[in-house]
Structure 1
Amino acid sequence: MIEKIDIKNFGSFKDYEWKRNVGNDDNSIFKDLNIIYGRNYSGKTTLSRIFQCVEYGEIHDDYLDSEFSFHLNDGTEITHDDLEHIKENITMRVYNTDFVKTNLSWFFNDDGTIQPFTILGEQNVEIEKQLLKLKEKLGSVGDSKGLYFELHKINEDFESKLNKAKETQNKLDKKLKGKAQDIKNTGDIYNKPTYNITSIKRDLDLIRKNGISSFILDKDSKTLNERLLREEAKTTIPKISKIKKNFAEYIEKTNALLTKKIKPSKPITELINDNLLQEWVREGMKHHKGKRDTCGFCGSILNQDLWEKLGAHFDEESDSLRNQITIHLKTIENLRLEITNYITLNKNNFYVQLHDSLDKLVREWEMGVKEFEENLNKQISELKEREKDIFNEKELIKVSLDFNTALNTKIESLNKLIKNNNDKTQNLNSDQEKARKELLMDNVADFYNTIQYDEEINSINRLEGEFQQVKSLSVEKREEIEQVLSEKRDLEIQIQDESRGAELVNTHLTNFFGHEELKLVSEGESPNVKFKIIRDSEEAKNLSEGECSLISFCYFMAQIEDEINADRSKEKLIVYIDDPISSLDGNHIFYMFSLIESIIAKRKKYLQMFISTHNLDFLKYLKRLTKPNGDGSINHFLIERRLRQNDSKSFLGKMPVHLKEYVTEFNYLFNEIYNLYKEVKGDRKQLLKNTYNQFYNIPNNIRKFLECYLFYKYPNTSTPLENLPQMFNGNVPPLLNRVINEYSHLVYLDRGWKPVDVDEMEMCVEIIIKRLEEIDPEQFNSLLDSIGVKPKEEIGV
């Protein structure tokens, strides 16, 4: 017996899990008898088609990519891939629109024919012999012979190879999940909080496609990326100004001083020829003239003639040149200090990725400054020599290098690096993200090598190729079996008693629905018998929707009667009846229920039954069906269509109390109104947006609820809304009048173009609920109790 169903993908059902939507206890399972209620387009027929896949043993043509699984009471699970297995132990019979279209083409096709169906009559001996041969050819697994046994052996081989491929894939997936979790947990480096097996498979496939060498980092690159992730944004470094002083002018000045020609007015030859003696004498003059009368060295008298003779040698022109040299030496020294300290950069203000470049440029600058200092030192040395030997000119100092251009070029390179550093401050986030990605892919590439991923994938592909070959053999064998089964079905059709089948349909039409004028008659001879519908001896061409529903359902009941009466029907037969009620009147609804009760429910000769409906009156009758094993053998469910983030999905859940226990439109309408009034979790407008279909029906529901309430409160008119003023002491709120007269009917055409206002609906519902609680508390509390709310419960408490 089927207890639960999970639906990954089938039509409007997406990612549906039983335990999350229904529950996981013993009362939250399919029972012997299951009643399902849902609005039109909620997903009832879609659900019936899943069961129909079991009946046919194959996926419905409209849902070839479907995924679902049945959970049976013996603990086994049958998926969409194992439908043949469930057919071995279950006989599934489904009535829905697909059944009608398949079997009663008369309702849809111009030729007006209806497929014949199996009601056993007299057996043809010769056909029976042919059937016996076909059965022997089919054989069985238990007898270890025939096509079924051959298919069984092929399937065993297929299962073995498939399991081996799955086992290999699972082992690989386990490794991938573990590695993905490690990466996910290393958030300080990779920052991948959602990294999972899908993510790592994508990255591994990228490596496999582009080659591992593209992703492996060398040690230095890896270290730089790791350092970059630890970096914080640096302050902006100002640009270095270019050197504006003209170094050539200093050289020109130096050369001018070195080559300037001067001569004493009365030179002393000995001093001219001995510059050391000359400098010694000049220094001595500083210590003696005007201070001593005798020589501090030899004690000789220093007379006036000596001072006049020395003054004529060391004249004003030589003193002037010495002063100019002294001043120029100071200027050069200041220039040396300025250039030496011109650039002061803090390495810590640069990103680690630029440290090597910074070190290189600083070294180049220092080398340039050193070369410049060497030139300055040469100038200083030559100037000092000229200062000591003032009367002898020096050679020109030649300079082959333009120091201004050379040093400013190095400053320009440093400024480019500074700009790059400042740009990195602006782009730090993107650079760090790039570093993370490179480190991640380096890690994954190393993992790729470690687990030999390429070999793993090749092994899995090889195993998949093997079981696909066996699968092809299985398909061929199935086609052979299907061919034999087709021949067998053709023979079985020839031994059917079609007239008996038509008579049984007519009996149901007459006994349960009183339609003696409608009859199903057979035409032609076996095996080409067709059915037609006759009304008053003429072919019926204009059946109403209700009549189509009656005939198609009687046809279904006639088809399954032999199976209901079979010896093992209670052990195998599962019947699924999807919404047999269309536009039937009240009597026909009751007779439809009576047919189900008499033919199926009362006999209790079925394993399990499912009945779905959108009709509240029919739902009320279904509560009276004979329960196969007492109250514990029945369960009630509700199918809803919900909108979540613009995605409409169907959900199967437990039936609310007000539908399960009371089943009147009055209770239902009150519940719809009360749901808009009560406090909800989260954003009410978002909730209404997700269930907008129900919300858009609120004006009609309000009008119908007031009509029901006012009819029972004041049953003195055929138009109950005339008594609405009595409910409000003659003063009906304008908003309420507007909602029930404009929103529930398109009396004013412009209402059709405007959306319903959420706030107005909430106010209107609040008016009704509070007024009903005020003037009729007993009625109000009973209604609350009927929808599972404690009476007098305060909203929001």
Structure 2
Amino acid sequence: MIQKIDIEKFGLFNDYQWKDSVGSKELFRKLNILYGRNYSGKTTLARIFKSLQDGLIHKNYIDSKFKVTFSDGKEITQDNILELDPDFKIRVYNTDFVNENLSWLHNEDGSIKPFTILGAKNIELDKKIRFIEEQLGSIEEKKGILFTHDTETQILDTKKTQLEQSKKSLNDKLREKAVEIKRTSTIYNYPTYQINTIKRDISKIKPETLLADDIIFDKTRLLKEEAKNDIQKLIEKKPNFNKYFEEVNEILFQEIRATETLKHLIENAVLQEWTRKGIGLHKEIRDNCGFCGNPIPADLWSKLDLHFNKESEELRNRIRIKVVALNNAKDAINKFVSLKKEDFYQKLHPEFEILEEEWKINCESYINALNQLISSLELREKDIFNSTIRPECTDTSDEILETFTKFNELIEEHNLSTSSLKEAQEKIRLELRMSEVAEFVKNIEYEKHNNTLGILEADIQLKDTASLLTKKKVEELLEEKRKLEAEAKDESKGAELVNQHLAHYFGHEELKLVSIGVSPDIEFKITRDSDDAKNLSEGECSLISFCYFIARMEDEMKDELNLKKLIIYIDDPISSLDSNHIFFMFSLIESIIGKPKKYGQLFISTHNLDFLKYLKKLTSPEKHQPIPTVKAVDGRQHFLIERKDKSSTYIKLAPKYLKNYITEFNYLFDQIHHCANSDVETIGHTYQYNFGNNMRKFLEAYLFYKYPNHLIGLDSRLGKFFDNDSVTINLINRLINEYSHLGENFERGMEPIDAEAIRKIANAVLNRIKETDIDQYEALVESINE
């Protein structure tokens, strides 16, 4: 069905936007009643629908621009008008229809295009047609294949709606997550991330995609890194421990041959070392022993010199030098690796920490080995004549060299990372994003939802296949029925159906459509009492043309399968008809179209308030659900077509008083109330031109009920109502006489009333009603403000 219409340019419509005038929450419904005064734009709107029917822009609006939105989301504009679904049947009754099909208004011969309907009964054909009709059944009667197809279609539509809602729900979650990732620029840096992107990411998720929290924390920190300086590599040189070991052993192996040794010192290394130190404290310094106080024997110094000879002192000196060298080697190895974790990129920190620990262990082992060498030397120094001392240590030089190599490999990776930092960080961003998506998929049970959608889609496919088979069967039966009906159709019966409507609904026995000729060269002519009708009145033209349209619609309504796509637009069918004819016009619409509900969507426009009153009684269609996600609403809606100025027409929701009361009295009061309470600039073109007529009709109705004496006229009633206030009465009389009944004042009627005078008169009348009958005034105001 048609949901809404936007009109940038088409006749009286300019820059009309549905959402600005009607609102985004309201749409056309199944039954749409449109009210508008003459020249407000009703015919213009009907011609947009006629353009859709013809697949061709109306010749008077070639440069038009409009957009008609259908319930399936399809938008038809002036540029793609031929793309309208061919199953849609849009049928418009307006002056163009009359001109195209009933040419008595412009052709002297009065010929009319014929159409065929089911002719006289053929027993055999009728029997076959009835059998097919029984098979087809009826949706309303809930039987037959038509009902089966309708049920299948409804179930299918429900399933499709359920699928769309489920997809929308899931897509909403995906879209919301995509926006979240898009906005988290410090981590993901993906400004174009959207729903299609997250769907693509989801398809790439693997079990290892989801990262642990500590890994996410570490990777997030890496994103904050900036480029670091290159690090100088270590010298990959094996430590000299083997050399030190050999040199120390050489010293330790050296034997000292004293000229004359003191046995008791040789046997006691501690005593010997104590003695050697004592020489330095006593020789040539003291004559007495600093320990016991006894005199030092004169020959003691010569004996000790023989014991501590030059060779032993040289060995001691070598030992001291080597100990210093080994201590220096210890200091050197400690200072050899001065690398800091902070110098490396964060991603290398774990490996650096492992190497740092490895280096510390190897370094400690190396220093311990050197300490063993030093301890051996120091022991030999104290026991200089003992050449049996041997160090026990392990050489870790190879392990240290290997650690140096590993450090250099790490340094090389660091230096290379500087040039590829951006690439590495992009890889991290991808890993973090994919982990975030994997966590999201897990939390919303994406796989479960997706499986549910798959099952639903498979179910829909099965039901769609079944529905298509049923539809095919229906189409086959309908096609067979059409062929049978074509054999029984008779163009002359089209004229008879029109005549039946004229006689039954309008009592016009004298006017008839008569078929002339033999098929396929049949024409219709209008006759009055068997003679060619000439000079038909406007009212008679209206009756015949509308009966003709209705008869043609009856034939369209026989297509049961496509009834939901039949859109009927009836544009202001009332023209110069009295009240009885207006009622019968309504009765014809109600009987043939309204009550059977054999249409997909119905539009009826009118300028006549009496007809509008009857239209309120049209059989209301079932509740209408314009959008699957919106709850069903009443199948009927009332609209108002209003012209603001010469080139500005609007469609809007009809005010409640016009919809609910449908009385001209309420409408006229609203028109006067608007003029009384509007600024001069905003009263509006239409209100100015119609004000004289509106005021006269309102006062005639109001004052007659107030003073129901048929012996007095409007002038007397005005005098009574306004307490003979001559100024006000004269002003009103001038208004309702000169601008309502033109007479000799035709030229004055071509000019609108001054807006300030309109406000003054409107306020005078309303204030007087308020003074004399406050209850009536307040009730009227309440009726137009509901």
With the length of structure 1 as denominator, give the TM-score of the two structures: 0.49
Bigger Rg over Cα: 2
